[in-house]
Amino acid sequence: MLKRIFIIFIARNKEYFRDREAFWWNFIFPFLIIVGFAVMFQEGMERQYKYGTIPPVSGFIQTTNPSKSIENLEMVRIVLFENREEGFEKLIHHKIDLLFESGSKPIRYWINTSSPKGLIAESLLIKSLSDSKALKEKVVKGTVDGQQIDYIDWLFPGIIAMNMMFSALYGVGYVIVRYRKNGVLKRLKATPLTPFEYLSAQVLSRMFLLVVSSGVVYAVCAVLFDFQCVGSYGDLILIFCLGSSSNIALGLIVAARTDSEEFANGILNLIAWPMMFLSEVWFSLEGSPEWVRLFAQIFPLSHVTEGMRQIMNDGATLGDLSYQIAALTMTTVIFMIVGSLMFKWMKS
């Protein structure tokens, strides 16, 4: 069995490297996105702001609620936190743009000085309170202590994960559909190769190519933009491989039976685009309705993006990511079993 899987693995890799356009696009596409966002966020081109509010320190008597004076601003969304630690954590990780203390007088607020939106959020807050000449007596400014995370550092793991998702879904799905349409799978059916062996070889081949291409992109961007991984590179590669296998196996389900490239493209789009927008690749879902955040948990991209961010930005270990690891492993196994059972060699 292993010999047959290895033969298909080598054959698929050779086919991929011979396709020069697809080969180079996997390197250029994520790099262009990172460069574009690096330039864009240096210009501060964002239009929505999230303000977090935290309870006062224990024993403090509330006198005012500053959210009343800014909740009518069209560009601001108020996010309530039940404890102070959660609020500061969200501010550090760019999930909110400004944090203020509920009921304090003078109003105490904090910003993340490395956030491209923090200073603008601060100016909006001060504007909403600037009805007095004694402005200094009304507000007390503070900044987050500890190592801060630049927004592009927060965004980078999501872009790598998104590029992996598209390559995993479309790279494998189209290949199998094309093979079935051209009769290649019909010939493979005459061999001792089983559907599980064939699909396993496809998963391993695409995972290998994704690790190589994403590793090159990471190395180049780390040199150009000074990206750093606080955690272990081994843990980062493991989470990436688990995410790759889960997304590849999901693409195999789509390609398991159809011989229509148009139909496969439609189904892959139906899966990929909601997954991209709901997996916190581009923006945080903090402040979104609870059902949206729960719905996002069904997507493999959500778990791999969160896992990579925690390793790169916070130095998380595999023990800290047990939930993400379990989710990605379980979805990979389920998708592989379903894909193997649904798989057919020939056109209908």
- Checking if the pLDDT of 208 tops 50, the result is yes
The domains found in the chain, sorted by start residue, are 2-39+150-342 (no CATH), 46-143 (3.40.190)
Q: What is the model's pLDDT at position 47?
A: 46
Q: 195 is written with which tokens?
A: 């559907």
Alpha helices in the chain (DSSP H): 2-18, 20-42, 67-70, 84-92, 118-129, 151-182, 184-189, 195-225, 233-254, 261-278, 290-296, 300-309, 322-342
Comparison of pLDDT for 182 and 314, the residue scoring more: 314
The gap from C-alpha 298 to its chain's centroid, in whole angstroms, comes to: 13
Token representation of residue 22: 């697809």
**Residue-wise over 200-210: b if at least 16 C-beta within 10 A, else e?**
bbbbbbbbbbb
**pLDDT confidence of residue 304:** 92
Q: Which amino acid, 4?
A: R
In the three-class reduction of DSSP (H, G, I as helix; E, B as strand; rest coil), residue 259 is classed as: coil
Residue with tokens 């009921």: 103
pTM for the model stands at 0.67
- For 115-143, what is the mean pLDDT? 70
The better pLDDT of the pair 13, 155 is held by 155
pLDDT given at position 215: 85
* Chain length of the chain: 348
Q: Which residues lie closer than 8 Å to 23 by C-beta, 6 or more apart? A: 16, 17
Nearest-Å Rg of the Cα atoms of the chain is 24
DSSP-derived letter for residue 80 is E
Q: What is the pLDDT confidence band of residue 120, given thresholds at 50, 70 and 90? A: confident
Specify which residues 142 forms β-bridges with.
110
Q: What is the pLDDT of residue 106?
A: 75
> Mapping DSSP to helix (H, G, I), strand (E, B) and coil, where does residue 109 land?
strand
Q: In what helix (H) or strand (E) does residue 49 lie, and over which residues does it extend?
A: strand 49-54
Which pLDDT does position 286 carry in this prediction? Answer: 78
Which single residue is written with the structure tokens 């699909």? 199
Tell me, what's the pLDDT at 166? 85
Q: What are the tens digits of pLDDT across the range 69-116?
A: 565 566 677 888 888 889 998 888 888 888 888 877 777 889 888 887
Q: Which residue has the tokens 């923090």?
A: 118
- Axis-axis angle for helices 322-342, 233-254 (nearest 10): 30
pLDDT attached to residue 43: 46
In the block, tokens 């033969």 appear at 7
Report how far Cα 311 is from the mean position of its chain's Cα atoms: 13
Q: What is the pLDDT of residues 31-64, one digit of tens each?
A: 676 666 666 555 444 446 888 888 887 644 444 4
